Every structure is written in structure tokens, then in C-alpha cells.
């Protein structure tokens, strides 16, 4: 901005590290010392598309990636803390959009919201709905058997880049990054 006498702002160097805006300066931003008191200009938390921060809109779902590794139950708690739950996907088109988004993030494994802990072999989403048990969602290991494998041992659901972000059963005690989802606003 051009300030008084057409001086270019910011012009206060290291002594003026706070921004202000006034009607007497034609609503131009100015830099000022942070020790000066002004009325605050407030805004609501940032929103990206139709999602509350920290979620972003991917296809039709608001998603948030937690890059710290957690066990599955801890991962679900972390999603609740940011206002969501573990990610649920049951639509092939949406699944494709999310897989593309994840491949851009560069992380190999993610916990999502499915398990068969309540009843072995009955995979369900955290919202209680049943899970589709075939391709394109579930992976195959090279030419091996269709996932889920290791019944009674691997009871939590991950998306794994080794299988092009397809579903894979995993030990709930493993640490994975986390995909959370929340309802759009």
C-alpha cells in the first residue's frame, strides 16, 4: 500500500511488525509497532470450500490428514478431537477422488473407519453401515488372496499405497497416519 506522502508500506522495518487498517488512510494496510493498541479486526476460522478448518473438500467429503502415526483406536480419538471421525468411503467415484488426493500427499499408509472387531469377518464402518467386500475397494497382494487376510488377527482397516490405496486389513496396534472426515457445512 502507498501510505502518507505516497510512502510504500510496510516501511517500519523490524520495529513495526503488526498490521493495521484505518479509514483515515483510505482503508490501506499499514505496519505499526505491536505495542500500539487498536481495535481488533476479527474473522471466523478459515473455511476451504464447504469444510470447516482443518478439513478440506475432496470430492463430496471433508477430509483431514493427521500426519502423526497413531494406533487405530487412538486415531479415531484424534479425529473426534478435530471435529470428525475416521474416514468412511462407500462410493466408487468418491473413493477414486480420495485415492488421487492421498497419492499427492506422499504418505504410504492411512487408518480409515472400518473394522471387524465387533464380529470377526463382518467388516463395518464406524457409522455401523456394512462394507463392500470386493474389488475395487479391497486389495490383492501380488497374485495372492483377496484382502482381508489374517482373520482374527488383523481387524482394522487401512488404505495402503502399496496396493494403490486399496483397503487392507491390518493390526489395530500398528501406527498409521490418519484420515478423518467431517460433514460439510
Domain ranges of the chain: 1-42, 47-182
Identify each DSSP E strand in the chain by its residue range.
18-21, 29-32, 47-48, 51-52, 56-58, 61-70, 85-86, 109-115, 124-125, 156-160, 166-170, 176-182
Q: What average pLDDT does this structure show over 12-30?
A: 67
Specify the higher pLDDT residue, 24 or 153: 153
What is the pLDDT of the chain when averaged over all its residues?
81
Percent of the chain's residues with pLDDT above 90: 41
| Band of residue 100 on the pLDDT scale cut at 50, 70, 90 | confident
Q: Domain 47-182: which CATH class? A: alpha beta
Amino acid at each position: 500500500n502507498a501510505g502518507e506522502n505516497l510512502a510504500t508500506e510496510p516501511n517500519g522495518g523490524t520495529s513495526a511488525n503488526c498490521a493495521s487498517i484505518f479509514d483515515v488512510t483510505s482503508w490501506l494496510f499499514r505496519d505499526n509497532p505491536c505495542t500500539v493498541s487498536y481495535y481488533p479486526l476479527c474473522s471466523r476460522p478459515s473455511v476451504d470450500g464447504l469444510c470447516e478448518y482443518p478439513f478440506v473438500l475432496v470430492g463430496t467429503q471433508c477430509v483431514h490428514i493427521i500426519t502423526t502415526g497413531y494406533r487405530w483406536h487412538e486415531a479415531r480419538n484424534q479425529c473426534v478431537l478435530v471435529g470428525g471421525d475416521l474416514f468412511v468411503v462407500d462410493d466408487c467415484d468418491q473413493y477414486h477422488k480420495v485415492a488421487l488426493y492421498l497419492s499427492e500427499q506422499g504418505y504410504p499408509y492411512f487408518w480409515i473407519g472400518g473394522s471387524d472387531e465387533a464380529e470377526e469377518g463382518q467388516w463395518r464402518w464406524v457409522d455401523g453401515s456394512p462394507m463392500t467386500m470386493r474389488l475395487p475397494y479391497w486389495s490383492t497382494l501380488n497374485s495372492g488372496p483377496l484382502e482381508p487376510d489374517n482373520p482374527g488377527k488383523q481387524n482394522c482397516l487401512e488404505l495402503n499405497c502399496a496396493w494403490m490405496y486399496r483397503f487392507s486389513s491390518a493390526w489395530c496396534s500398528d501406527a498409521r497416519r490418519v484420515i478423518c472426515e467431517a460433514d460439510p457445512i
